[in-house]
Structure 1
Amino acid sequence: MMISNGDIALHFADDGPRDAPAVVFAHALGTDLTLWDAMIAHLPEGLRLVRLDMRGHGGSDAPPAPYSMGQLVSDAEAVLDALGLRDVVFVGISIGGMIAQGLAVKRLDLVRGVVLSNTAARIGTRSQWDDRIASIRAQGLHAMVEPTLERWFAKGFRASPVAHTLGTTLSQTNIEGYTGCAAAIAGTDFYTPTSGLRLPCLGIAGSHDGSTPPDLVRETVELIPGSSFALMRRSGHLPCVDAPEDYARILTEFLESIGHVAT
């Protein structure tokens, strides 16, 4: 399905009963909405599941880089408004978790709870992201696949067909889309706005995450009073992929705890 936000078209998937409680998913840099496929198969019935493709990724348009985090938040906001959704639980992984924070700060009327998965209020430094952007411009995304998979997954999982497929998705991501979203991460520091949030929050981290280590995730989640934290001990940066059943169980328990799904 597609909607427009200004002059770009945004792609998303919308599954489940239209009158059911909604859970919205935002994926990681260099992936697309299919990142969630294996995991959502293990979620309970009776939920409306909306998965977004960020601008520059999947089926969404890829305008010229750079992008701002404000634009990415606006894209998510536009999809939710177009669908008439309110009181969603927003699940964001990596950059998707930054979008979750920004959307909750901007539009608390849309979001009743957030899941901040393998993310942080600030990820890396501007110089690190600038260096990565320059490298991609010079060498292409193919050169990023091996080091990215090393950050994403524990060694034993990197040889799996699933990891290979994600490597292919990364290599085929639009360069404007990847570098545009990388620039958005580089310019984002949500420590102050996130510390002002007051809503149910679950943080999820993977013990083998080389991109957003558990302590970084925990530090961000603890900015929100009353938040909870789950460490997935055999997982990396994308636990919805390398341990989808466990991830679904943790997410379901959170949804049940806040009354978003029946126990």
Structure 2
Amino acid sequence: QRLYNRHPKCVEALILSDTAHKIGTAESWNTRIATVERDGIEVIADGIMKVWFTPEFHAKRSAELAGCRNMLTRQALPGYIGTCMAVRDADLTDAARRIAAPTLCIVGDQDGSTPPDLVRSLAGLIPGARFEVIRDAAHIPCIEQPEALVTLIRDFVASLPEGKSAHG
């Protein structure tokens, strides 16, 4: 979204997966930042995994879950805090209304970070945007339901006007 906002001529089409124009509140992000500054990322990791992945993923794919949790907890604290600050401060509501490129907004039906209604509202801001929900997925459908995600992406790219899918 921000790339399009800054350089619209460089973007022929957008696929926005499990994101929104405004995610969370300043208060919720400030609380998270204070928590990880004081106690580290480890203390919030299990809660994040619960909203990033479905209960079925937790039950049946524990090795992959452990890898994702490890990825989260091993990142540098200043980088994580900077990311939290960037998300906290981002309000792309007006920018979304100005998107003129073909856009696909995708969300997992069990996404606890950017719930389907929030992603649907993003799609509603973007003129002509297509909105799709991936069943049995939470915040990271490329891990939980990669085939469904690839199908949506392929269909979207195939639907683009000639010249918009030169890399497809």
Length-normalised TM-score, structure 1: 0.60
Larger RCO: 1 or 2 (CA < 8 Å, sep 6+): 2
User: Which whole-Å CA distance do the structure 2 matches of 1:169 and 1:249 have between them?
Assistant: 27
Query: CA RMSD of the aligned region, Å?
Result: 1.4
Q: Quick check: 1:113 aligned with 2:13? A: yes
User: Which whole-Å CA distance do the structure 2 matches of 1:187 and 1:262 have between them?
Assistant: 33
Q: Quick check: 1:244 aligned with 2:146? A: yes
Letter in 2 for 1:112: E
Q: Quick check: 1:210 aligned with 2:112? A: yes
User: Which whole-Å CA distance do the structure 2 matches of 1:130 and 1:208 have between them?
Assistant: 25
Match of 1:188 in 2: 90
Q: Quick check: 1:201 aligned with 2:99? A: no
Match of 2:45 in 1: 145
Q: What is the percentage of aligned positions where both structures have the same residue?
A: 32
Quote the offset at 1:122 in angstroms. Answer: 0.2
Quote the offset at 1:104 in angstroms. Answer: 0.4
Conserved in 2, the CA contact under 8 Å of 1:158 and 1:164? Answer: no
Structure 1: give runs of 5+ residues left out of the alignment.
Answer: 1-100
* SS class of match (1:109): helix
Q: Which runs of 4+ in 1 moved over 6 A?
A: none
Change (3 A) 1:108 1:262: closer
Match of 1:34 in 2: none
User: Which whole-Å CA distance do the structure 1 matches of 2:154 and 2:68 have between them?
Assistant: 25
Q: Select the residue among 30, 37, 49 that pairs with 1:130.
A: 30
* SS class of match (2:104): strand
Letter in 2 for 1:200: P
User: Which whole-Å CA distance do the structure 2 matches of 1:197 and 1:111 have between them?
Assistant: 10
Match of 1:176 in 2: 78
Q: Quick check: 1:167 aligned with 2:98? A: no
Letter in 2 for 1:253: D
User: Which whole-Å CA distance do the structure 1 matches of 2:64 and 2:144 have between them?
Assistant: 8
Note the alpha carbon deviations across 1:85-137, whole angstroms, 9 max, x for none: xxxxxxxxxxxxxxxx1110110121111111111000000110000000001
* SS class of match (2:8): coil
Quote the offset at 1:262 in angstroms. Answer: 8.7
Letter in 1 for 2:119: V
Letter in 2 for 1:111: V
Match of 1:254 in 2: 156
* SS class of match (2:33): helix
Structure 2: give runs of 5+ residues left out of the alignment.
Answer: none
* SS class of match (1:189): coil
* Structure showing the higher strand proportion among its residues: 1
Length-normalised TM-score, structure 2: 0.93
